[in-house]
Structure 1
Amino acid sequence: MKRADRLYALMQRLKDGHLHTAEAMAQDLGVSVRTIYRDMDTLAASGVPVEGARGSGYTAQAMITLPPLNLTQSELEALHIGLAAVGAGETEDLAEAARALSQKIDAVLPEDVDSPTGRFGFATYPFAEAAQGFRHMPAFRKAIRARQKLRLRLEGETGFHTVRPLHLDYWGRIWTCIVWDETTEDFATFRMDRVQDLTPVPGLFVDETGKSLKDFRALQS
């Protein structure tokens, strides 16, 4: 049984209000008692109202359980942006709820090591840094559509780069952008939350051999 399926099965069992021992749950699910202990810690850290302790048993308070959902990549992007925005807000109870919800989602996301979703910590990724990147995304998207150059400065750098914005990528946890950097005369990929300043440069650009998104993809293959 996959870990996500096991966590869901544990949540279903705990919500009946009865006390369940780790030994009984481990036997029914075909895993070790130590694995159940780790799963209980994961559920508690994800905001599931687990009560109990090792050696005595576990139960859960009343909770709202949603049926399994299949999300598209775009829907997951929208959910991530919304949670990051709320998590970075000044309303502490909503910010805490956003953090708890993101941890629950992170707990059941696929664990395929070959998937980009395994490379970044969605639940632990700093909301303030994520929100920092979102503020530049409308201008960056607009520049991609209009084929307009941008002048930007990255975190930790004092100089500016003049770039041709080519593409935005969402990696299940964070946003990255692909550009042709006219300052270094090379392709570059960086996280949007590292962008400190961004200003459109007058004038448009056209595709040139060796500087397009197609050329970048060819180099990656």
Structure 2
Amino acid sequence: MRRSERLAEIVEILRDGRLHRAQDIAETLEVSLRTIYRDLDTLIATGIPVEGARGLGYMLREPVLFSSLNLSLAELEALHLGMAIVAEAADPELQDAAQSLARKVSQAAPMAREAPPRWGHGVYPFHRAQAGFPHMPLLRRAIRGREVLRITYRALDGTVSTREIHPLQMEYWGPVWTLSAWCTLRGAFRVFRTDRLEACRGTGATFAVTPGQELADYLASIG
């Protein structure tokens, strides 16, 4: 189970408004108590109204009526794109509304606080996300079909490189989308911001299941 899915399951467990022990949640989801404590800390830090303490139990203070936890990545992408389009509209009132909604969605997304440390926790200009949308269909198809991609990527320091990657998973970090992949150039896992992809195309080649280079290996490497 991916961490985002586990966070959603924890919220569902807490929806009944009763006090739940972390140990019981851990046994239900078949993970360690330490993992549940870390997940609960994440939910609290992102503004989900979870209340409680270790050794006592946790509960939701109020109903969660809207949360990105209830949206799939494709739904988040559609919502994000819609907000980006409206944010460029001529009507100042709608622009302000779109920017406000973007902030609320970002704050509500637990994954927004799971971004790798090298990305920092700054607020990225919302319009930057638009640059990555043209690549989304190809990225999703490549992940499903295990297709090797050739990308041209501009790093945060301005360095441009061309490399072949094995795409594994897309993540939503609020206003930033990233692609986790095995990079054949570095021989290691790398995370790429989709808005910094200057070019992306399929090679027609597929990559085989390789121990140490799979999504499960990547998730294990980041804890």
TM-score clears 0.5? yes
1:97-136 matches, within 5 Å, as 97-104=94-101, 106-107=103-104, 115-117=110-112, 125-136=124-135
| TM-score normalised by L of structure 1 | 0.57
Unpaired segments ≥5 residues, structure 2: 1-63, 116-120
Unpaired segments ≥5 residues, structure 1: 1-67
One-letter amino acid of the counterpart of residue 142, structure 2: A
Task: Name the CA shift for 1:117/1:159 in 2 (closer, same or farther; >3 Å).
Answer: closer
Q: Distance in 1 between matches of 2:175 and 2:196?
A: 15
Q: Distance in 2 between matches of 1:138 and 1:216?
A: 23
Q: Distance in 1 between matches of 2:77 and 2:191?
A: 19
Q: Which runs of 4+ in 1 moved over 6 A?
A: none
Task: Name the CA shift for 1:108/1:208 in 2 (closer, same or farther; >3 Å).
Answer: closer
Q: Distance in 2 between matches of 1:161 and 1:116?
A: 27
Q: Distance in 1 between matches of 2:76 and 2:206?
A: 32
One-letter amino acid of the counterpart of residue 97, structure 2: A
Give 1:77 deviation, angstroms: 4.3
Q: Is the 8 A contact 1:83 1:99 kept in 2?
A: no
Residue range with higher mean Cα deviation, 126-135 or 178-187: 126-135
Q: Distance in 1 between matches of 2:203 and 2:171?
A: 22
Task: Name the CA shift for 1:98/1:181 in 2 (closer, same or farther; >3 Å).
Answer: same
Identity of counterpart residues, as a percentage? 35
1:12-161 matches, within 5 Å, as 69-71=65-67, 72-74=70-72, 75-87=75-87, 89=88, 91-93=89-91, 97-104=94-101, 106-107=103-104, 115-117=110-112, 125-155=124-154, 156-161=158-163
Task: Name the CA shift for 1:99/1:177 in 2 (closer, same or farther; >3 Å).
Answer: farther
One-letter amino acid of the counterpart of residue 90, structure 2: E
Give the alignment's Cα RMSD to 1 decimal: 2.8
Q: Distance in 2 between matches of 1:146 and 1:108?
A: 30
| TM-score normalised by L of structure 2 | 0.57
Quote the residue 1:207 is aligned against: 209
Q: Distance in 1 between matches of 2:137 and 2:79?
A: 17
Give 1:105 deviation, angstroms: 5.6
User: Which is greater in Rg?
Assistant: 1
Quote the residue 1:165 is aligned against: 167
Q: Is the 8 A contact 1:117 1:171 kept in 2?
A: yes
- Count of residues in correspondence between the two structures: 147
Quote the residue 2:193 is aligned against: 191
Q: Distance in 2 between matches of 1:193 and 1:85?
A: 16
